[in-house]
Structure 1
Amino acid sequence: MSDEHGPDPAPEADDSGLGELERDVLAVERRSWPGPGAKERAVRERLGLSPTRYYQLLNALLDDPRALAHDPVTVNRLRRVRTERERRR
């Protein structure tokens, strides 16, 4: 269950307060991917998540101050992308 701080952290949290799954989601976004299907395949195989659930978790992480503290470069880049997409709508 989620609260105002984003998705529930996995039991294995580090100093950032993020759980292992949350850190793994950010790590997937940190990488560059060779083709459109490679990232979705990695999400299913490595994280065991459907792409829809993955993007739900990712979107919540972008608003989570713990995620920003853990990986500010990735979170800020993704926030800019999200803002640009919203602006175009």
Structure 2
Amino acid sequence: MSLDRTSRDEPTARLDDLAVRVLAFEAHAWQQPGAKAEGIRDEFDMSAARYYRILGELIDSPAALRYDPMLVKRLQRLRDARAATRARRSLSNGRTLD
């Protein structure tokens, strides 16, 4: 995935075809993680890990935010919530009980 731009923060940045397809794919409501992973392989011919790296970069891009602000903000909120859950889990695992 690349953004059609010279600078990451350039206001006229445009999304490439892959970025637009990833955002459209993310707009679907996936009920089962296995089905989504299979869809990623079928649609993009890449591993789920690579797809999620691309998606992570994409949802931080100003161009994606301009393209579909509601979707991108929802994806950012979900990512932030997962990170907070991981942080809480790792803090609770590090505690010792007296």
Interval containing the TM-score (normalised by the shorter chain): 0.7 to 0.9
Letter matched to residue 81 of structure 1 = L
Q: Percent identity?
A: 38
Runs of 4+ in 1 over 2 A off after TM superposition: none
Letter matched to residue 40 of structure 1 = A
2 CA distance for matches of 1:26 and 1:65? 13
Q: Residue 29 of structure 1 is aligned with which of 8, 26, 43?
A: 26
1 CA distance for matches of 2:14 and 2:74? 21
Unaligned ranges ≥5, structure 1: 1-6
The answer on 1:8 being equivalent to 2:2 is: yes
TM-score (norm 2): 0.72
TM-score (norm 1): 0.79
How big is the shift at 1:79? Answer: 0.6
Letter matched to residue 32 of structure 2 = G
- Kindly indicate which of the two structures has a greater share of residues assigned to strand: 2
- Equivalence map 1:46-85=2 (5 Å): 46-85=43-82
Aligned 8 A contact 1:16 1:69 in 2: no
1 CA distance for matches of 2:47 and 2:63? 24
* Cross-structure match for 2:93: none
1 CA distance for matches of 2:21 and 2:66? 15
Larger RCO, structure (CA 8 Å, separation 6 or more): 1
2 CA distance for matches of 1:16 and 1:40? 29
1 CA distance for matches of 2:3 and 2:13? 11
